[in-house]
Amino acid sequence: MASVEQLHFALTLLAILGCGLIAGVFFAFSAFVVKALARLPSEVGIAAMQSINIVVLNRWFLGVFLGTAAACVLALVAAVMQWHESGALYLLIGSSLYLVGTVLVTGMCNVPRNEALASLEPSDRSAASHWVRYVVGWSRWNHVRTAAALLAAASFSVALAC
């Protein structure tokens, strides 16, 4: 049977890996994917992003995204229950960064923009102006998600080192 220390190590390592993987996905979108789509004619960029927003809802991405959230909830509980232990503060910080800065921001900022984009007909004249606003707003919040996931991974790494 696994000891509490082994479970703690495994949970924290899973949180590090999940946060790092999600940070990498979001970083790719911030660094070049959305920038490349924005360089295309608006109807092509819109259609491509609409397709991405459908395809991203798959077991691999959602498994890592939501599985990491579950690991963060467990790490948050562990941090509170073991507050006197070294590293508990970093578990709390890492969990909070991911849950608020990644999951909550996704649900409240990026998903509504994706849903609005999904309702557009890419060839409509008004779609082009919406696309420009979408790229700016969606990217801004994606930068927040990227930083939050990366900082969460760093915080979990410090917790593991304590």
Q: What is the pLDDT of residues 4-31, one digit of tens each?
A: 889 999 999 999 999 999 999 999 999 9
| Of 6, 9, 5, 26, the residue nearest 98 (C-alpha) | 26
Q: What is the pLDDT of residues 88-128, one digit of tens each?
A: 999 999 999 999 999 999 999 999 999 999 999 999 989 99
Residues near 44 by beta carbon (within 8 Å), at least 6 away in sequence: 122
Predicted TM-score (pTM) of this structure: 0.94
Residue spans of the domains in the chain: they are 4-161
With pLDDT > 70 as the criterion, what percentage of the chain qualifies?
99
Alpha carbon distance 85, 94 (integer Å): 16
